[in-house]
Chain A
Amino acid sequence: MRQILMSKPNEFSYHKERDQIRSVAVKMFAKVISSSKEDSAQGDSNEVKVSSTLEKKQD
């Protein structure tokens, strides 16, 4: 599985961090990757979990 650890809205302050052009372009590109992998992804982990906390293994 693949995981993304996202911050909650307003958890941290940001100052002009968004590059709108890059943001849209990156999403477009990722969409192309996703569609190209749909047929050949057997066995690959395509599950992505987005959360604001992580379950850590206990020592």
Chain B
Amino acid sequence: MKKFLYFIFVNNRVIDFLSSPFLSIFVPPILGLYYGTLDIWGNDWTWVKNYQDIHTVIFSILAGMTVIILFIKGIAESCKGQVTAKYEKITESMITFFNELVKKKRDRFNNKAKSLKPTGDIFKTITHPRDQLEHVLDGTKRFLVSGLGIDQKNIGITIIQGNLSGPKWWYALKCDSQKQHTKARELMEGSSTARFCFESGDSLFIPDLRKGIKEGVFFESNRSKKTGKGSVFCKPVRVTVSNVEFVYIFTIAVYGQYICTPYDEAECRACEKILDEVADRVELELYLFSMKQFKESGGKAA
């Protein structure tokens, strides 16, 4: 029923026209004036008196239109009100996420700037990409919970880092370090989303994990087997500092529920767009993270 109501009353051009302010402002007063004219001067004016059948039809049409317009407008406003509230919630969550990142950096710069020495290593003092990355991952989780309504116990956010000369793979960061994660090496050697993204260089969003398993691009873990459903978003990031390459795979996995409706392409595209926006912030911090590692390791790979 709810689905039917939204299909009919939200994003429907006919309904948008019928519930437009123009119609709801003009049609009811016209009906009132018309009724008044017929009632007051109906027996005096010949153009009313001699064409009663026509006036009955016109009045019925106007009365019917008024009822339909006001009814549709009422339901459409109610549906759109709920959508607007949710839209505002998503926007607020995203802005909070971005603001917190900026605030954290600004506070650190403000504190460190007071004690900087001209001979000191300013870059090392002011940049703390690991802290910032941890903050970005926590912020991403908070955004998914408050903005998209995902249960926080269902979320897994990780950054896998690799050394291609080995190759060696490990978790550079995990949002929930106490949770048991599949070993990074196992993921990168198996048929996983992370491996696909690393090899293709493209980000990948799989709204339904079952599709990923079927296509051989999702590694089934105990957790995913237990929950049976979920979504995953993966983005590879390659940063070249001087001639040294740093490789990362950022992953957002949701188990036990879907990030979006898996069979609605428009919604999947929209969700992917939002997740890509989040991943852009992670990518930015990974650039700094790589430069810092490059400096600390004396120009060697991680």
- A residues 8-59 touching B (CB-CB < 8 Å): 9, 11-12, 14, 17-34, 48, 50, 52-54, 56-57
Q: Is A11 within 8 A of B199, CB to CB?
A: no
Q: A4-B204, A22-B149 are in contact. List 4 more A-B contacts (CB 8 A).
A: A20-B10, A25-B84, A26-B148, A33-B273
Within 8 A of A (CB), among B261-293: 261-274, 276-277
Cβ-defined contact, A18 with B270, below 8 A? no
Q: Is the CB of A18 within 8 A of B271?
A: no
The smallest C-beta distance from A2 to any residue of chain B, in angstroms, reads: 5
Instruction: Say if the beta carbon of B211 comes within 8 Å of chain A.
Output: yes
Partner of B211 from A12, A25, A48 at Cβ < 8 Å: A12
Digitize B172-203: 1 where CB-to-A-CB distance is under 8 Å, 0 elsewhere: 00000000000000000000000010011011
- Beta-carbon contact of A7 and B210 below 8 Å: yes
Contact, CB under 8 Å: A14 / B262? yes
Of A2, A50, A53, chain B has the most CB atoms within 10 Å of the CB of A2
B interface size (C-beta, 8 A)? 50
Min Cβ gap A27→B in Å is 5
Within 8 Å of chain A (Cβ to Cβ): is B83? yes
B82 lies within 8 A of A33 (CB): no
State in angstroms the CA–CA spacing of A18 and B200 once bound together.
31
B196-A29 in contact (CB<8A): no
Is B264 in contact with A23, judged by CB distance below 8 angstroms?
Answer: yes
Residue numbers of A with Cβ under 8 A of B are 1-7, 9, 11-12, 14, 17-34, 48, 50, 52-54, 56-57
CA distance A25 to B84 in the complex (A): 7
Alpha-carbon distance A20/B10, docked complex (angstroms): 10
Report yes or no: A7 in contact with B211, Cβ–Cβ below 8 A.
yes
| Given A12-B211, A29-B270, A33-B273, also A17-B203 (CB < 8 A) | no
Residue B258 interfacial (CB < 8 Å): yes
Asked whether any CB of chain A lies closer than 8 Å to the CB of B170, the reply is no
Please state if A27 and B265 are interface contacts (CB–CB under 8 Å): no
B202 in contact with A4 (CB, 8 Å): no
Residues on A with C-beta less than 8 A from B210 are: 7, 12
Question: 0/1 per residue, B232-266, Cβ < 8 Å to A?
Answer: 00000000000000000000000000101111111
Say whether A27 contacts B82, CB under 8 Å: no
Chain B proximity of A39: nearest CB distance (Å):
16
When C-beta atoms are compared, the residue in chain A nearest to B280 turns out to be A44
**Contact mask for chain B residues 85-102; partner A; CB cutoff 8 A; 1 contact, 0 none:** 011011100100000000
Does B156 count as interface, using CB distance less than 8 angstroms? no
10 nearest A-B residue pairs (beta carbon)? A30-B270, A25-B86, A20-B6, A25-B87, A30-B273, A57-B199, A7-B211, A27-B270, A18-B261, A5-B206
Q: Are A5 and B270 in contact (CB under 8 A)?
A: no
Please pick, from A24, A25, A29, A50, the residue contacting B268 in the complex, using a CB distance under 8 A.
Answer: A50
Judge whether A33 and B277 touch: CB under 8 Å: yes
Q: Which residues of B contact A26 (CB under 8 A)?
A: 90, 148, 260, 267, 270-271, 274
Whether the pair A7, B208 counts as a contact (CB closer than 8 A) is yes
